[in-house]
Amino acid sequence: MPHHELSAEVARRRTFAIISHPDAGKTTLTEKLLLYGGAIRQAGSVKARKAARHATSDWMEIEKQRGISVTSSAMQFDYNGFRINILDTPGHQDFSEDTYRTLVAADSAVMLIDNAKGVEEQTIKLFKVCRLRSIPIFTFINKMDRTGRDPFELMEDIESVLGIRSCPVNWPIGIHGDFKGVYHRDTRLIELYSGGDHGQGQVNVETVSIDDPGCPAKIGQTYYEKLMEDIELLDVAGDEFDMEKILSGQLTPMFFGSATNNFGVEPFLNRFLSYTKSPTPRVAEGVGPIAPDDEKFTGFIFKIQANMNPAHRDRLAFMRVCSGVFEKGMTVWHSSSNSRIKLAQPQTFMAQEHESVDLAYPGDIIGLFDPGIFRLGDTICTGSPVRYSGIPLFAPEFFCRVSPEDSMKRKQFLKGINQLSQEGAIQTFKRPNIGREEMIAGVVGVLQMDVLEYRLKTEYGVNIVRENMPFRFVRWVVETPKPLDRLRLASTVAIAEDRVGRPVLMFENEWSIRMAGENNEGLVLAETADRMTADEIE
């Protein structure tokens, strides 16, 4: 492919994830975005997928019937000349380490916030992962049609809880559920709100310039005056719109709207697409950054989805294309086997159906049929071997002591546990000093424990006994001033090690983490660890 064609394909791509707490409106917003792109004709299909996910017990059944997971996908659509890839970040019961890993494949994030709730727990966790990578974060304050918090208070919330400065691009008019519309600071236009579900199509909204003498009458004199005051305050005291700071993730542009009413969504999308980046170079170890329009094809695996149907052991590996052109059936070098392989049966993801793919470009996400060769963080490429830095391990939040019901099955049990932790479904820990052998499974999302139990039973024929543990945090010990058993720690803190023997501390609450830091000068703890090492040592 000529270089300029590849560059053009790169330039029109936008690959992002929506980060939010459950019920902020991610499904609704995703659906509206897909509607704009004409990717789905009817509202409701994304919702249907979500409803299917909602019931925990049904979930296993669905997985079994469909074979390949319904819980994970990337959605691709075209809009105004852009090719958009939205990475799905499962947020309800199926919140798991995969949700974090997905963010490693995104170039930017849309942070969706419920105007009545402000910044919530899961948003904070996902935000932290975006922060680690310094990707641009765009904020959409949702549900403006309803009574919510004061917009200045929401700005303050974002800045104090997340530690990122914010810059409103538009500003809401009206209070206490009497929503009148938004004022766009860049165009000086007010878009007037009219309620009702405009979900089926793009909306024709009435606009009025703030400089129009008829403006106060349109939105009401009191609201007009309040708006003028607010704008002045923002102009004087607020952060300036600074593209460089936005792109480096130090400043978040803020938008207000209502996803169900399809209000403010399109203006948001247009600005988001023009401000945010197309795929940027990624750094390969020892080689440096590889530009997306480099003719060398490279990509990495960020998620592996097991087939829940025990009759089919195959898995689906999700790859993000980083540079060059991906072609169906191409032969590539694969990092963890250090050999050349042929990539068969690639799939791309639309809103619902998986489609076969012939060509893919940087920013695109592809599902690869995986007979069991791929590992998380694997690089694949044409030409001479290169490696992108691996995907870290993220700290689990739920812990169970697990053992086989039948001690004769210990060997299968260990085999299963090992395989599942290699896939990234669980992490394992043990406490070396407790005088007996134990296996602690740690997961980010509690449902993963059910998955563990189910898969050990169906794939390895092992019934397990699960015993919940009170820990909610694990931290890897990066540096310690003295041996761990001589540190000053709360009595509930456990000393343990991860799968490859790296020391960790397990905590029941954030208070004891803070105390550990305060009482032990020189103790350095980390919320993530290097995965490469974990797999290499095996």
Is there binding between residue 239 and ligand G4P (CB under 6 A)?
no
Q: Please, are residues 89 and 102 in contact by the beta-carbon 8 Å criterion?
A: yes
Is there binding between residue 93 and ligand G4P (CB under 6 A)?
no
Q: State in angstroms the smallest separation of the CB of 26 from ligand G4P.
A: 3
Is there binding between residue 258 and ligand G4P (CB under 6 A)?
yes
CA distance 377 to 387: 9
Is there binding between residue 143 and ligand G4P (CB under 6 A)?
yes
Element containing residue 503 per DSSP (H, E): strand 503-507
Q: State in angstroms the smallest separation of the CB of 321 from ligand G4P.
A: 27
Q: Please, are residues 341 and 334 in contact by the beta-carbon 8 Å criterion?
A: yes
Is there binding between residue 32 and ligand G4P (CB under 6 A)?
no
Is there binding between residue 28 and ligand G4P (CB under 6 A)?
yes
Cβ closest to ligand G4P, residue 93 vs residue 261? 261
Is there binding between residue 431 and ligand G4P (CB under 6 A)?
no
Q: Which residues contact 479 (CB under 8 A, 6 or more apart)?
A: 522, 523, 524
Q: State in angstroms the smallest separation of the CB of 239 from ligand G4P.
A: 26
Residue among 26, 49, 282, 502 that touches ligand G4P (CB under 6 A): 26
First to last CA, the chain: 40
Is there binding between residue 172 and ligand G4P (CB under 6 A)?
no
Q: Of the listed pieces 17-25, 274-282, 328-336, 347-355, which binds ligand G4P according to CB under 6 A?
A: 17-25
Is there binding between residue 69 and ligand G4P (CB under 6 A)?
no
CA distance 384 to 386: 7
Is there binding between residue 260 and ligand G4P (CB under 6 A)?
yes
In degrees, rounded to 5, the angle at the alpha carbon of residue 441 between the alpha carbons of residues 440 and 447 is: 145
Rg over alpha carbons for the chain, rounded to the nearest Å, is 25
Residue among 164, 259, 420, 494 that touches ligand G4P (CB under 6 A): 259
Is there binding between residue 142 and ligand G4P (CB under 6 A)?
yes
Q: Of the listed pieces 128-136, 254-262, 299-307, 518-526, which binds ligand G4P according to CB under 6 A?
A: 254-262
Cβ closest to ligand G4P, residue 114 vs residue 370? 114
Longest dimension (CA), the chain: 84
Is there binding between residue 96 and ligand G4P (CB under 6 A)?
no
Q: Which tokens in the block code for residue 515?
A: 């105390």
Is there binding between residue 438 and ligand G4P (CB under 6 A)?
no
Cβ closest to ligand G4P, residue 85 vs residue 123? 123
Q: State in angstroms the smallest separation of the CB of 97 from ligand G4P.
A: 19
Nearest to 387 by CA among 531, 278, 499, 501: 531
In degrees, rounded to 5, the angle at the alpha carbon of residue 15 between the alpha carbons of residues 14 and 19 is: 125
Is there binding between residue 20 and ligand G4P (CB under 6 A)?
yes
Cβ closest to ligand G4P, residue 28 vs residue 252? 28
Is there binding between residue 267 and ligand G4P (CB under 6 A)?
no
Is there binding between residue 22 and ligand G4P (CB under 6 A)?
yes
Cβ closest to ligand G4P, residue 259 vs residue 380? 259
Q: What's the half-sphere exposure (Cβ side, CA atoms, 13 Å) at 525?
A: 23
Q: State in angstroms the smallest separation of the CB of 309 from ligand G4P.
A: 27
- The torsion angles phi and psi of 254, rounded to 5 degrees, stand at -115, 135
Is there binding between residue 145 and ligand G4P (CB under 6 A)?
yes
Residue among 9, 13, 14, 25 that touches ligand G4P (CB under 6 A): 25
CA distance 379 to 336: 8
Q: State in angstroms the smallest separation of the CB of 145 from ligand G4P.
A: 5
Q: Tokens 């803070």 belong to which residue?
A: 514
Q: State in angstroms the smallest separation of the CB of 109 from ligand G4P.
A: 14
CA distance 470 to 412: 27
- CB atoms under 10 Å from CB of 422, counted, come to 17
Q: State in angstroms the smallest separation of the CB of 20 from ligand G4P.
A: 5
HEC secondary structure over 23-55: CCCHHHHHHHHHHHCCCCCCCCHHHHHHHHHHC
In degrees, rounded to 5, the angle at the alpha carbon of residue 431 between the alpha carbons of residues 395 and 415 is: 75
CA distance 394 to 509: 17
Is there binding between residue 421 and ligand G4P (CB under 6 A)?
no
Is there binding between residue 108 and ligand G4P (CB under 6 A)?
no
CA distance 435 to 471: 20
Residue among 131, 146, 165, 296 that touches ligand G4P (CB under 6 A): 146
Q: State in angstroms the smallest separation of the CB of 53 from ligand G4P.
A: 10
Q: Please, are residues 193 and 263 in contact by the beta-carbon 8 Å criterion?
A: yes
Q: Of the listed pieces 99-107, 256-264, 322-330, 449-457, which binds ligand G4P according to CB under 6 A?
A: 256-264
Size of the site for ligand G4P (CB under 6 A): 16
DSSP letters, 118-172, are: -S-HHHHHHHHHHHHHT--EEEEEE-TTS----HHHHHHHIIIII--EEEESEEE
DSSP three-state, residue 58? helix
Cβ closest to ligand G4P, residue 54 vs residue 486? 54
Q: State in angstroms the smallest separation of the CB of 238 from ligand G4P.
A: 24
CA distance 24 to 115: 9
CA distance 325 to 305: 24
Cβ closest to ligand G4P, residue 170 vs residue 260? 260
List residues binding ligand G4P (CB under 6 A).
Answer: 20, 22-28, 142-143, 145-146, 258-261
